[in-house]
Structures are given as structure tokens and as C-alpha cells.
Amino acid sequence: MPLSIEEVRHIALLARLELDEEALERYSRQLSSILDHMARLREVDTSGVLPALGPLTAAPLRPDEARPGLSSEALLKNAPEVEAGQFRIPPVFEGE
């Protein structure tokens, strides 16, 4: 499906791209090639192919079960600095 230079110019306008004539011709060939490839893919019979697990299908999830969390002592055991039973971090805004 060949795209005309005017169609590519319109696409570039929508994408807010400033293209010279050489780039318009190059993109016209490249986009036409992509559209031709997509047209060939549409012709493939995929009726017997199961859909692959991807972003549009949900993976089976394990049941959500409550479990006990860590104790404060276990959480703070490896902290570099602790103050009053909490993590002590350096000030974010010095001098304020």
C-alpha cells in the first residue's frame, strides 16, 4: 500500500516533525513497506492458533492470602541508622 508524499507530510504534521523532501520520500518508502508487511500478516490464517500470553491476556494469579509481616526488630536489623525505633535518613534539604 504505497503512501503518497502528501499522506506522509500529513503524518509528519500530526507528529510535529519538520521533514525535508528527501526525508519525506524516505519515510514514504519505509511506511509503505511496513503497511505492505502488515497487509501480508492479515492474510495468514490464525484460526487454529491459541493466543499467546501477553499484555492483553491475564496470567493466572495465586490466591491472595494474608501472611504475617516482619517484626520491627527484623526490619531495622540491617538499617545503617536507627532512631526511636525508625529508620534514620540524612536530611533531604540541608539548612532548612
Q: What is the mean pLDDT of the chain?
A: 89
DSSP 44: S
Supply the pLDDT for residue 51.
75
CA–CA distance, 71 with 50 (Å, rounded to integer): 46
Predicted TM-score of the model (pTM): 0.49
Whole-angstrom Cα Rg for the chain: 29
DSSP 92: S
Q: Which CATH code fits 5-42? A: 1.10.20
| Band of residue 35 on the pLDDT scale cut at 50, 70, 90 | very high
- pLDDT tens digits for range 36-62: 999 999 999 988 888 776 666 666 788
